[in-house]
Amino acid sequence: MQGKWDTGPVRALGAMSGTSLDGVDAAVVETDGHTVFGFGPSDYRSYPVAERAVLRAALGLWSGPEVEAAAKITDASHAALLGTFGDVDLVGYHGQTLAHAPRTKGTLQVGDGQALADALGVPVVWDFRSEDVTMGGEGAPLAPFFHFACAKWFSATGPVAFLNLGGVGNLTYVDPSFDRPEDEGALLAFDTGPANAPVNDLMQARRGLDMDEGGALAAQGKVDEGAVEQFLASPYFTRRPPKSLDRNDFAEMVTLVDDLSDADAAATLTAMSAAGVAAGARHFPKPVERLLVTGGGRHNPVLMEMLRVTLPCPVVPVEEAGLDGDMLEAQAFAHLAVRVARGLPTSCPGTTGVRAPVGGGVFSAPGAGGAGSSA
């Protein structure tokens, strides 16, 4: 590898397109893979309706024309956004997750990192999850190593938790008293259950809308507690972490609200998301000082209030710690890209259940053709 990969800070550009299928986030982080030194510019490209439909049609598939079409959109949309950034040393390209079944088929994120490196003229790190799955891990979540660096950045004095509310929810428990994220006890991370995806799907099916903006519809409804109890009866919630989910693993939860009004259905699905988080928080090794919420779900006041009344700690947007909740995952893949380029681990037993700390990812230099290297 050629570049600033040995010592010192690197200006890395990370990108993330989540399972909520709203669009692509991109953000610059100045980091050496251990310490975050600062944050650079960020930007967002939403998916037009037609592109979102193509991506949605490919969800849950492993191959075929739908997957090929989704891959083309993923590459083109990322190149269009990332090409507007200048003065970066490295790009972290997560791609678009279409299917995730680590215990059976594996994990699939479409996106050609070599093609992106050639288009941008900058080295690209991509395919972050496959190596972890190959080594026995869940392949997700991967943001926890960045969460650890963030807790150090804002000088956390005790254990804290990060909750990302995207299509799927995930929690990271961070104990900042440890020196490295891979140290035993420093991190515990896992998916909590569906977050925004079921409500988004409900709104699309019943009202032709992308989301319940600001929780407005859920605020008008009444929660069906029986449906929430049925949802929580899934063995997933008693399974010890680490553990991860595919976007569609709880697709049947929508059938639990089939007979409810739109408002009651939205309220009940929102309550299910909060209940999954509360069930997950019971796995924390120690009480946390606060729970910092990131992702689109933090803009839903109904969901945030449900979390506040069910969790035994303060629940606040991650902005209260000086971070950007809209860009945290994109920033995470910038940070992880530097770790991959420097041969540092990106996951460990406490985050994905992998047998030992492992550094996933493929490094592709511009013009290297098929010479991308695992790092």
Structure tokens given for 300: 């839903």
Rg (CA), the chain: 19
Residue 22 has pLDDT above 80, yes or no: yes
Residue 19's pLDDT is 75
Q: Is 5 domain-assigned?
A: no
Given 279, 302, 321, which residue is the final one in a domain?
321
- Cα dihedral sign for 38, 43, 44, 45? negative
Two tokens at 350? 């406490």
Q: What is the pLDDT of residue 311?
A: 97
Q: Identify whether residues 187 and 120 lie together within a single domain.
A: no
Nearest residue to 107 via CA among 139, 135, 71:
139
Taking all residues of the chain, what is their mean pLDDT, rounded to a whole number? Answer: 93
The verdict on 243 and 342 lying in the same domain is no
pLDDT per residue as tens digits for the range 117-153? 999 999 999 999 999 999 999 898 899 999 999 999 9
Residue 371 has pLDDT above 60, yes or no: no
Contacts of 158 (CB under 8 A, 6+ apart): 176, 177, 288, 289
208 and 234 in a single domain? The answer is yes
- 12: which strand partners? 29, 90
Rounded Cα distance between 254 and 80, Å, is 35
Q: Among residues 286, 306, 321, which one ends one of the domains? A: 321
Flag the least confident range among 122-131, 148-157, 161-170, 237-246: 237-246
Does residue 360 register a pLDDT over 50? yes
pLDDT of 1 reads 43
Q: How many domains does the chain have?
A: 2
What pLDDT is recorded for position 3?
A: 52
**Do 160 and 262 belong together in one domain?**
yes
Domain harbouring 206, CATH code: 3.30.420.40
- pLDDT value of position 375: 52
Q: What is the pLDDT of residue 268?
A: 98
- Cβ within 8 Å of residue 171, ≥6 positions away: 161, 162, 163, 189, 190, 191, 192, 277, 280, 281
Range of the domain at 182: 155-321
| Domain end marker among 283, 301, 321 | 321
